[in-house]
Structure 1
């Protein structure tokens, strides 16, 4: 039998995937103009109300917030960049991205948001400030490393790699981040076994919005959502998923009532196909305020 020899060929990645870290996010302290409360434009849209389940009408969890001249995205679920485009915004418009926790359905599109803005607006792109739990800087560096081949290939076309590297703030309970017309406060929630999970409260001069992230019923969330105009809260229907570290539809109304929230909006809905009344019947067991079952691209403020 004739022998067959194989010549060792050079990897097509040679020259692109080098050992050194090409792009490194920068960890910066939370800072800003304390007490900035100027009036300005304000809007909140549900860019994704789904879960890890792939559904035709519910994208991965994310919420878009416009406050004055700033545009913030809370979580980066699958498809959020295209959802922004449907609302008339570009990824390059983002000034801030807040991550509640590092489950894939909440952070999977962050690299695409950064890369899309950098690729599409080469000469004047500024990455958004990334705000998230401890470990977010490492996540940003690793996810950019995954795209090192793409990044290096574009350097031949006069792309500045420094424009891609975002600054990162890692939060703890009570960390505040400020803009000209708004303030966000991070607070720990109970999504055990995820040990670093947060919600965010956004305050302007006349509006307060709280986004729960993923959590079971949690006193710290109730405290931080006190008297909020809008509470955007995850919900899971009894008999589905993992209720041990989520909030049941039969409990989320109790959370909103204890917080005295004026408007409860349900998101991160599992399952995503139930009629609204099934959710609302459970909410009304304990909550008499305004309640809305979230839909993708719905404006809630």
Structure 2
């Protein structure tokens, strides 16, 4: 093994849950610094991006069990930081490398151990952070970027398409909208009235969600909608069907609907997340950071994120 830092810490901070529940059960604790085994590496985390799945997975024991989580549990999945130790057999990464990735319900911690070659669950994964991408931004990419890429792969928008994106201003939406626009599609995005300017900044034409959605979309796109992505529930699915979009060009990420193919970030094409990171580095895709909090304010950060009204991503800062 090799160590990047001259001093070797014996304890570090991690957000832990002793019981499953809401933000009120989250606590910052001192824990032993984890040690990487063969094929693993340790990352000193600088930032952790929050996702709806983080608090959903840990909200109750039955849901946690579906994801293989047991108590005590960590919290958060997206991270970015610097490799500070590598285990035997690791190639392709070295101490000092900047990385980002996902590690299921363990990311909000000073240190995480991840598989050098792996998946978000169970062992975690890592990707090189491109030059020009700061750690806060990198910490938002893994879950939302992969999920957006998987959803777009289902409906395959391109030139001549008009894509309806439900919950377009959320964490996945900011990626989906921009990637669809880069593919040449026109994008109509649903959101609250207060999100209209944020959606326009991303390249979407805003419409408000709620009763009468199909009529508002029809007025915005009289020539019709050709594909749809529902990033929240089923409202956009029903509107798309009412507008004549065929089921094979509709997808969801947070609900199961008969006849509709659901998208899962775990099924994103190989290289998709590296492509997204490259677009960020090139200035062709931007990630709005709605708010950042020190780790000591994890409860407030999760409360904000769980309210589902932020326009962009919420990030936890773990290093000054």
TM-score range, shorter chain: under 0.3
Structure with the higher helix share, 1 or 2:
2
TM-score relative to the length of structure 2 = 0.26
TM-score relative to the length of structure 1 = 0.28
